[in-house]
Structure 1
Amino acid sequence: MAGINQDWEPVVLRKKAPTAAARKDEKVVNAARRSGAEIETVKKSNAGMNKAASGSTSLNTRKLDEDTENLSHEKVPSELKKAIMQARMDKKLTQAQVAQIINEKPQIIQEYESGKAIPNQQIISKLEKALGAKLRGKK
């Protein structure tokens, strides 16, 4: 292991030099500023973004405009809230313990029992397995 040398070369990172057109535009704008002329700059709204010009948004906007129903998320039905609470009480578990069993946050169990949560079939099936009770399928 005699004479181990590391020959490190310095790496210099630089910004890409502005193109000739960009330099020309910049010179024109700076010259106008110096002469006291009024300058108007326009920001292009979708410039450099990975979005379609207006193709997909108009469809969604039209759907929203045509939609006359009340726009709210689906909530947990009261039968499901009561079933979750009853099954949890029967097993003598707290909301935090149930949350730990199904590997979710205690806040999620609280939201389901208070009816504020947006129903998620995966979470409901985890609750069914953990509590050993059938919570859905009564519709």
Structure 2
Amino acid sequence: MSGISQDWEPVVIRKKAPTAAARKDEKAVNAARRAGAEIETVRKSNAGTNKAASSSSTLNTRKLDEETENLAHEKVPSELKKAIMQARLDKKLTQAQLAQVCFTRLVVQT
């Protein structure tokens, strides 16, 4: 029994050190202010957003504003729309069947 001994050294149990996210918490910042610590807070311009290309978008916006050319798609005349619809109805096809015959997907345009 001589191999058994007791350890009488004091053991100090502490909480984990705060993580970086916890140090940036508003409560932690306020506690540091009350303690008199120097604090520098900087907010990143696009932090927490999905605007990675926002700096280049301002350049593109300026270019688009300076553009004077009319870039509109040509519109399909309503006579063509009605002719396609009438031909489809004459053959007793649904829109889905017509799309399948034309080897395309059915896309409803409003």
Query: Which structure has more helix as a fraction of its residues?
Result: 1
Larger RCO: 1 or 2 (CA < 8 Å, sep 6+): 1
TM-score (norm 1): 0.37
Kindly name which structure, 1 or 2, has the bigger radius of gyration based on alpha carbons: 2
TM-score (norm 2): 0.43
